[in-house]
Amino acid sequence: MGMAERRRSLGYSQEQLAELLEVDRTTVGRWESGRSTPQPPQRPGLADALDLTLDELDALLAKPQGASPERVRRVPSDHPSAGDPDEMIRREFLRILTVSGALTALSVDEAEALVDGVRRGAPADFTRMNDHLWQVYQLARSKGSVYPVVRDQLSSLGEALADTRGNSRPLLNAAADLFQLAGEVAFDANRYTDAAASYSMAASVSKDAGAFDLWACALVRHAYVDVSEHRYRQAAQILGAAERLATRGDSALATRHWVAAVQAEAYAGMGNLAACERALDQAERVMELTTGSPNGGWLRFDGTRLAEERGARYVQLGRLDLGEEALKKALNQTALAFGQSYRRRGAVLADLAAVGAKRSDPEQVVEYGREAIRLARASSSGYVARRLQALCGEFGPLSRDRRVAELGAEIATLSTP
């Protein structure tokens, strides 16, 4: 009996088992097909779900799963969108293309050709598809809308890697890129465990490919999970490793400058103003790079966000005048930005409201806080919602003000999945 038979004998669908273990359905599918195995932290939960001891689970997973290439490519019958997987990818990509309106330069014929290239496992087409998905993600108001295509693209990449002969590095690079995007989608939805798992996979695949910039960026994103949960020292350690990797990467890329920008946040969380400012100064050297340096979707750091980064760090360190000046400059920049990023603008507004809270100024808290709430609702962004929930922790005595109390009640209704 294989894992799939064991699951079915206990009455679970793949979706039900995935939900129980807090993983994606495709992860369960890969375990059952033998394309991947559960990581050590996942095994105890899987053993419990399948009513097995850990030794019995290991023996079960060690058995050949009997998955021929044809079987691997077939979508399981209990998948909610069972059907031809190539057609599913095509439909999903074209749907996102239509809904987002972000890729007007790509005609329907070009999109069809691109999806056909993905179906054939062509590395260049995987890379092009990833680039388009990053554009959709960047401009989409609801980041979660990108997830179905990312999921199917990952599945297709896995199959292409399993079938590849010869040099697999281009496909490994594409996989590392896409795992980072999957992590970003999970992170925005406040699914930190899923995000960290995706970033870990991205780092592992990047290491196998010898892609130092991709590897460093995966570590930066992983460190940001720690930053978001205020584990600043742990984040600083990971970022130190990312910094060393970035020095081995492409000097034309902005990798090392992005590492410095996130290091600044970790140092600010540790209360180290001098180290924070040194890191911010290093981050600003991104402006010295040649215009149009070849940043990919996985590396979008070009210095346009440095004003808001510096402002947020000063607020974090209690330097309110410096922080407010930088944040107001950033607010003007986000108002003019192409696509007007709701997520970025909402985060800046939340920081300006936090400045008001630290100054015991209810008018400033309410003015900026209400606009941030509006953007959080419009974008369904868990990231902006989290920033606003952190703002509530700054209210203190201001909570007795009726307007601030009403603002806190509105923030409590925001969804952070």
Q: Specify the pLDDT at position 161.
A: 72
**329 vs 85, higher pLDDT:** 329
Encode pLDDT of 224-246 as tens digits.
888 988 899 999 999 999 999 99
Distance CA 71, CA 88 (A): 17
- What are 331-369's pLDDT values in tens digits? 887 554 534 478 888 889 999 999 999 999 999 999 999
Please tell me which residue, 272 or 336, carries the higher pLDDT value. Answer: 272
At 319, the pLDDT band (50, 70, 90 cuts) reads very high
Q: Considering only CA atoms, which of 183, 241, 254, 178 is closest in space to residue 209? A: 178
Instruction: Give residues with Cβ within 8 angstroms of 338, minimum separation 6.
Output: none
Residue 268 has pLDDT above 90, yes or no: yes
82: nearest Cα among 25, 27, 35? 25
Residues of the chain with pLDDT > 90: what percent? 30
Task: Measure the CA–CA gap between 130 and 113, rounded to whole angstroms.
Answer: 15
Confidence of residue 12 (pLDDT cuts 50, 70, 90): confident
Mean pLDDT of the chain: 79
Decide if 119 contacts 285 (C-beta within 8 A): no
Report the pLDDT value the prediction gives residue 66, as an integer from 0 to 100: 44
Tens-place pLDDT, residues 178-209: 889 888 888 888 788 888 888 888 888 888 88
Q: Structure tokens of 197? A: 């798992």
Q: Are 356 and 365 in contact (CB under 8 A)?
A: yes
pLDDT surpasses 70 at 417 = no
Specify the higher pLDDT residue, 92 or 217: 217
Q: What is the pTM of this model?
A: 0.62
Domains defined for the chain, CATH in brackets? 3-79 (1.10.260.40), 84-210 (no CATH), 214-303 (no CATH), 331-417 (1.20.120)
Alpha carbons 189 and 388: distance in angstroms, whole number: 14
Q: Scan for tokens 């974008």, then name that residue.
A: 379
Across 46-55, 290-299, 408-417, which has the greatest mean pLDDT? 46-55
354, 319 in Cβ contact below 8 A?
no
Among 41-45, 68-72, 228-232, 249-253, name the one with the lowest average pLDDT: 68-72
